[in-house]
């Protein structure tokens, strides 16, 4: 989370990480779902969420 805010605070209006049961979570930025452990049935790889944010901001 810290790395996302450090690098993209200028384009991120909102960021949410929603924990749920069994360690599942979803990451949304500006209302767009970027990663869902529940949907993918796996953990995010190191740097994966940051890369997804990079994709949506065009860097």
> Would you kindly state where each structural domain of the chain is located, as residue ranges?
2-57
Question: Over its length of 59 residues, how does the chain's per-residue pLDDT go in tens digits?
Answer: 677 777 778 877 877 766 667 777 888 877 888 898 889 989 889 889 889 888 887 76
Provide the CATH topology of domain 2-57: Glutaredoxin (3.40.30)
By CB atoms closer than 10 A (0-12, 13-18, 19+), residue 53 is buried
Over the range 20-49, which residues count as b (16 or more CB within 10 Å of their CB) and which as e? eeeeebbbebeeeebbebeeeeeebeeeeb
Instruction: Supply the DSSP symbol for 29.
Output: E
What is residue 57's predicted lDDT score, i.e. its pLDDT?
A: 78
Quick one: tokens of 44? 């995010």
Residue 2, phi then psi, degrees to nearest 5: -60, -40
- pTM value > 0.95: no
């Amino acid at each position: 989370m810290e790395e996302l805010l450090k690098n993209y605070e200028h384009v991120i209006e909102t960021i949410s990480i929603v924990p749920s049961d069994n360690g599942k979570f979803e990451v949304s930025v500006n209302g767009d779902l970027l990663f869902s452990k529940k949907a993918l049935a796996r953990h995010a790889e190191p740097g994966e969420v940051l890369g997804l944010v990079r994709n949506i901001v065009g860097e």
